[in-house]
Each structure stands twice: as structure tokens, then as C-alpha cells.
Structure 1
Amino acid sequence: MIIVYGITLSTLVLVICGANICEDRNLKGCQRLAAIKQDMCQDNCMATLCPRTCGLCPLKCYSCDHVDHPSDCHHIVQCTNMTMSCITSQTVTSSLEKKFQLGCVDNTVCNDLYGPVPNLTQSIIRRDVDLIGGCCSSDLCNKYNEPDKIPAPTMNPVQPSGNTHGFSAACTEMDSQVCRHFSENNGCLLSCVASMCPQTCGKCSLTCYECASVDLPGHCRNRITCNGHQESCIAVESHVFNFKEGYKLGCVAKQNCKD
């Protein structure tokens, strides 16, 4: 058995099989939400939808035995608990070849090998030891090509694209694109998604103008409450009894609008 700094490789790297995978409800939705609302993880609803983005999941790490270089590793595992970090460590095989081993390791082991684990989104590779390696504390951070040239991640601000036309101020959602992502795969069945995206999930009543006949749509003043999930507001050109052109306004089934 190979020993690295007095610690057996069987202890150093743990490959996870059959673990419950902790993931965001929708990766694109969580990424956009994080760009719009940087404090989103303080909201219980958003944190429930985006546990990995909010750092509530065990890390995912590259995991390989005896590869020539960390960039050759493509297998990914989820660590068993929140007290583990990703690690890359150079080892020596029984034939005295230098190889790399990647995986998950307890923070105490990382601390013994390389010092405290940095809270950064890139690998920290030590060059002042015979067998190079390092630990890091973000998803998939233990694979690199040129460690000294890894750029820091950037977060581009995103302009919210809320859609409130026709709805009351009390029935609004932060961003229509975020809600579109989260509503996929029956997401609206989740109370958290439905409360954050009431329009997308059809939980809002829709207020439309309603008139049997007016000369211009802008002259209609009567209002009616429609079913926002099944209906849309409509204004159609019509003819009144004296054959003059006019307009009829009200609610109509969404399917009729498509036709």
C-alpha cells in the first residue's frame, strides 16, 4: 500500500457509490437567480430550490486513481458529507512512477497535508513539496491544466425580466425567465415555486377590460376578473347593429387566442 505523507491512499480518497445526489432544481434558473439577487440564499424558498448554488450540498469532485495529470481525470463523485473537500495529490506507485490521485477527503486530512483549505473557487497547488497537490472547497475545483493561470470567476449582472402586465401589483414575480426554468417538469406543483412564480404557475387572477361594443378599445372602462391560468385578455374588431365598425373586449380561453 502506498503512503503519502504518512496517510494511506485508502483513507485519503473516498469514492462515493450510491450517495443521494444533492442538486439545484434547475441549474440555469439558479444561475440566473443568483446573478439577479446576490442574497438569494438568505431566502428559504430560493435556498430550497438552489441548494448547490447556495453551498448546502456536499462538494462534487473529480475522482481518479493514478492518472498522469489531473486534466486526464473525467470521473465525478459527490462527497459523503459537508466536512469534505476536493483534493489532488501526486503519489508514487509501486513501480516508483509519479501519478496523480483525485477525489474527496476530510478537511482534517487536507489540513494535515497542505494546511487549511482555502475558501476559493480555484485549486491551490503547493509547489514547495516533493509531491505536489492541494485541496479546494468548490465543486469540481480539483482538476486543472495550469494552476497558476486559473482565472477568478466573474458574475455578470442580469436585468430582471418581470412580466406584470394585466396583473395586480400583489401578483408579481421577480423574473419571467427564472420562473420559466423552475416551472419545468411540473415545478409549479412545488409550493415554493408556485409562491415565487404566481403568474407562470397560473395562481393569479387576470383583470381585463370588458365591453360588448365600443368604437375604440381605449374607450372601454368596464373591467372583469378572468382566470389567469386559462384565459387571456382580448380585443377584437366587430360590427354593431347599425353595421358600424367597433370593438369587443373581454376574456377568452388561451387556446382560442392561439387559433
Structure 2
Amino acid sequence: MSTMKYYRIFTLSVICVLFTVTLAEICDDDSKSLCSLMQSRIPDMCGDPCLSKFCKRTCGLCPLTCYECIDVDDATQCTTVKTCAKDQYCFTAQTFTINFAEAYRLGCGPIKTCLQYASISTKRVNLDAGCCNTDKCNNKPPALMKVIPKQNFTNATILTTDKSFCVNLDDDVCTRLAIVHPNPCSDDCIASKICPHMCKKCFYCLDCNEVNHPANCTKTTACGYGKQCYGYEKIGSNRLPAVELGCIDEQVCNLLQTPSGHVFGRRDKFTFTGGCCVGDFCNTHPDGAVTTQPSVATISTSSPAVVGQNCSYQYHLTCPAGFKPIGKNCYHMPPNINVTKVNAERYCHDRCAHLVKFSDKVEILNVFSHYDNNHHHGDEVFTSLSKDLLDHWIWDSDKTTANPQLIEHDFHLTHNTCVVAYISYFTGTNGHIVYAYGLSPVDCNHHAIPMCYVTRS
């Protein structure tokens, strides 16, 4: 064989090997922890194209990796691994060596062969053969191997005509997707089907035909694409000023943007005001247009209170989905997520919230005590406290100075500019549980849990 022919054959072999390796690397789960969580929360996820695409290997959408050995005495001792073709399953078959000694052969084989021979009860010969369709499943006797049927997705579709269309499929799954994917809501499957509420494809509005103040409205409605929350003043059935709240088409909102003044009875120049906004319960904002007071204002979609993209609210009558009411605030503390300060801020901002702020040490203990004691004790959470250029410790959430009671001695000695809140406990000499809690300066690249909060009105 000439040198040139040998070189070409060698080159093609290398290319084929690299292609196979690259294909195996590309086809995988986006995140093992994400797929494990999704399997536990949505058992039939692999039957749904929107969900299974994030967990291709878990859902059997990748070429199988199988053990491959020829003429081994014990199938469980095979350690060589091979990536199969797309239309192949893992096989193990009893065979004979060249000397007619009993042995096993392991490797990849056509799915058709698996279905025709290995799975039937009556075999052509008295030799065992088995096949299976999960990674590295064939290093065992054929009798222990089985093919797992593909799943059919039976969950109801999220996008319906009722309020359920604005419910995330699973809040924890959405949280994990937001960590794994830098811009999760750019994916239509995530935004429209899995996490519509997180991605602000929909939101909730107060929905009352006639109340004297938004705070007295107790009904809500889900508002989807092409619509906005609204609120405007009108004359009620009792001929007194009232407020109407709800969800309407964006085009209609333009009619509410220009208030028109009217004079009624003894009230001088009572002005009807109204406007539209985007965001959960944004038509409850106490400083917005939805008021029966004789002052002109409009609900702004670019309020200074905006935290994350498309957020137009700062106060809530009820806590947003995934947030826990504690005192005057609503808190959100995701499990099993540890990120840097920048990513912690982004996590909260994506939920139209701030990193947590504490007024004193008692509040730290109070907030932590509302979470699972067995799960969260010993964890650290990022706060919005940071050190400015003048060495002042400032809450970034509202630009106020931290309570001196929270500033420990090590705050004055550190070069770190970020702060975590912590709580831990140990058993004292008398058998009682002793708690240690407070704030601690850390490097901003330190990993901790993002704890978010919003204020309730």
C-alpha cells in the first residue's frame, strides 16, 4: 500500500472517530441535576418534546453507550465501552468460543433484531440472548436485561383558556432552567409552555368592576399575550367615584392614557384618571393612576421601582408565586442553588425582586426560621448589602445605610465587598440548641444561595 493511500485511510479513520466522539458529547442532558429534578416532578417528561429536549440522554434520545466484548466468561466483567449507532440497542448473547467453550458476546445490535429474537419467550436455539435500551445496561446476564417502553406525555397542556395558563409547570424546574440557561425565556418551549409566568408571558391583574379603592379588590384574572392590566376611575352605581380594574387588549389601553377632567357636585375639578401596566397586580400600585383621590397620575410602565426586565411593580397585596409571606415582605429562597453575587442579583431581578435586606439581627433569625430547619440551617444567602468606594455598607435594594448593629468587627478589617446572611446551630452543654446567625463579608465570587424579597402593601 502506498504512503499516500495509507495517509488517506488514516485521516478518514481519525475524522470518523472525532465525529463519533463529538456526536456523543453534543447529545447529552443539559444538566444532570435539572433532569433528575424534572424526572422526580414530571415522571412522564420524556414523552413531551418540549421537556425531553433538555434531557436527551435521560430520555433515550442519544445514541446508546454499550459494553462491547467478544468471548468473555462473565458478562459482568466486560469493561470496554462503545457508542452505538442511532438505530441500535445494547446486546448480550450467549455463544461459543472457537474451542466451543461457553462464552458471552456484548455489543451494539439492530433494534429490529432485538425485537425479533431477544425479547420472545421461545428462542430458535437454547442459548440466552438479551437486549436493553439504556446506557451501559448490557454487562449482565441476558435474563436480567429488558427494553423500557417509551413514555407518552399525559399531562394537560399548560396553555389553556383558564387561569392555569399562567402557572409554571413547576417552579423549582423553572428555577433550575434559569440557572442552566443564561437566557431561558428566549427558548419558546420554556417561555410558552414550561415557565410562562416566570418568563412574563402572562401575569395576574386585579379584576373588579366597581370598588372604592384597589386595596378592596379581592378578585384576580390571568392576563396573557397582547393584553395589559388596567385601572380607571368612573362613576359607580351609587353615583360616587369608583375604580374599575381588570385586563384588556393593548390597543384599548391607548384610550386610557389621556385623562379627561370633569366637575361633579361640590368637588372642584375631579379628574378621572386611568392607565395600563404590565406585571403581576401592577394595577394595585398605591402611587398609580388607580385612585379615587382628585389628583392626576398615570400607571407607568417605566416606574423607578422597576427591578427586572418588564417589571412595573414594587408592592404586592399578595405574595407572587414562589414567595413566602413573612412580616411586611415576601421572600423566596430556592433550594440547592449556589451562585456568585452577580448571578444571585440576576436571579432575583428576573423575578422582579431584590436580594434580601435585613433591618436587624432579629429579622435574620425570623426569616430563616420560616424555612425548613433541616434543609436550610448552615446555608448562606446573598444579601443586597455591599461596600461602596467610601467604605460605607449600603443596601443596594434601596440605597440606605446598614444598621450599625449588623456591622460586626470583621466588617472593618475585610477587603471583601459582598455580604451573606448565615444561620447555623449546635447542641450546647445542657442539650439545648444554640443558634449562631448574622451577616458576614465574603468575596463577590463566593457561592451562596440567592434570597429574594418584595414588599407587600
The yes-or-no answer on 1:133 pairing with 2:137 is: no
Q: 1:231 to 1:29 in 2, by over 3 A?
A: same
- The answer for the alignment partner of 2:437 in structure 1 is none
AA matched with 2:61: L
- The answer for the alignment partner of 1:236 in structure 2 is 359
Q: 1:64 to 1:219 in 2, by over 3 A?
A: closer
Residue 41 of structure 1 deviates from its aligned partner by 3.1
Distance in 2, matches of 1:219 and 1:175, equals: 23
- The answer for the alignment partner of 1:95 in structure 2 is 99
Q: What is the RMSD of the two structures over their aligned residues, measured on CA atoms?
A: 4.5
Distance in 1, matches of 2:134 and 2:397, equals: 51
Residue 105 of structure 1 deviates from its aligned partner by 0.4
Distance in 2, matches of 1:179 and 1:219, equals: 24
Distance in 2, matches of 1:61 and 1:99, equals: 18
Task: Check whether the contact 2:72–2:103 (CA below 8 A) recurs between aligned residues.
Answer: yes
Distance in 1, matches of 2:168 and 2:115, equals: 48
Task: Check whether the contact 2:132–2:145 (CA below 8 A) recurs between aligned residues.
Answer: no
Greater gyration radius: 2
AA matched with 1:188: P
Distance in 2, matches of 1:87 and 1:146, equals: 8
Distance in 2, matches of 1:63 and 1:80, equals: 13
Q: 1:62 to 1:233 in 2, by over 3 A?
A: same
Residue aligned with 2:56, SS: coil
Q: 1:205 to 1:194 in 2, by over 3 A?
A: farther
The yes-or-no answer on 1:23 pairing with 2:28 is: yes
- The answer for the alignment partner of 1:157 in structure 2 is none
Give per-residue Cα distances to partners, 1:53-111, cap 9 Å, x unaligned.
22322333222222211101122323211x32211012222233322111110123334
Q: 1:70 to 1:178 in 2, by over 3 A?
A: farther
The yes-or-no answer on 1:60 pairing with 2:65 is: yes
Residue aligned with 2:90, SS: strand
Q: List aligned pairs for 1:34-183, cutoff 5 A.
A: 34-81=39-86, 83-111=87-115, 113-114=117-118, 129-144=125-140, 147=143, 174-176=170-172, 179-180=175-176, 183=179
In the superposition, the TM-score normalised over structure 1's length comes to 0.54
Q: List aligned pairs for 1:165-204, cutoff 5 A.
A: 174-176=170-172, 179-180=175-176, 183-184=179-180, 187-189=181-183, 191-192=186-187, 195=191, 198=198
Q: Structure with the greater relative contact order (CA < 8 A, sep ≥ 6): 1 or 2?
A: 1
Residue 37 of structure 1 deviates from its aligned partner by 1.0
* Residues 36-45 or 19-28, more deviating: 36-45
Q: 1:99 to 1:128 in 2, by over 3 A?
A: same
Distance in 1, matches of 2:89 and 2:328, equals: 66
Residue aligned with 2:60, SS: coil
Distance in 2, matches of 1:26 and 1:182, equals: 12
Residue aligned with 2:397, SS: strand
Give per-residue Cα distances to partners, 1:5-34, cap 9 Å, x unaligned.
xxxxxxxxxxx9542112211123212201
Residue aligned with 1:103, SS: strand
Distance in 2, matches of 1:218 and 1:111, equals: 62
- The answer for the alignment partner of 1:251 in structure 2 is 397
Residue 131 of structure 1 deviates from its aligned partner by 2.9
Task: Give percent identity, aligned residues only.
Answer: 26
Poorly superposed stretches of 4+, deviation over 6 Å? 125-128
Q: 1:173 to 1:204 in 2, by over 3 A?
A: farther
AA matched with 1:37: I
Distance in 2, matches of 1:145 and 1:90, equals: 9
Distance in 1, matches of 2:168 and 2:116, equals: 52
* Gapped regions of structure 2 (runs ≥ 5): 1-15, 149-165, 200-307, 316-325, 330-344, 361-394, 400-416, 421-440, 442-457
Distance in 1, matches of 2:312 and 2:79, equals: 50
Task: Check whether the contact 2:129–2:142 (CA below 8 A) recurs between aligned residues.
Answer: no
Task: Check whether the contact 1:28–1:181 (CA below 8 A) recurs between aligned residues.
Answer: no
In the superposition, the TM-score normalised over structure 2's length comes to 0.34
Distance in 1, matches of 2:130 and 2:114, equals: 8
Q: 1:26 to 1:143 in 2, by over 3 A?
A: same
Give per-residue Cα distances to partners, 1:107-155, cap 9 Å, x unaligned.
2333454356xxxxxxxx98994432222233332222694699x9xxx
Q: 1:42 to 1:60 in 2, by over 3 A?
A: same
Q: 1:130 to 1:145 in 2, by over 3 A?
A: closer
- The answer for the alignment partner of 1:6 in structure 2 is none
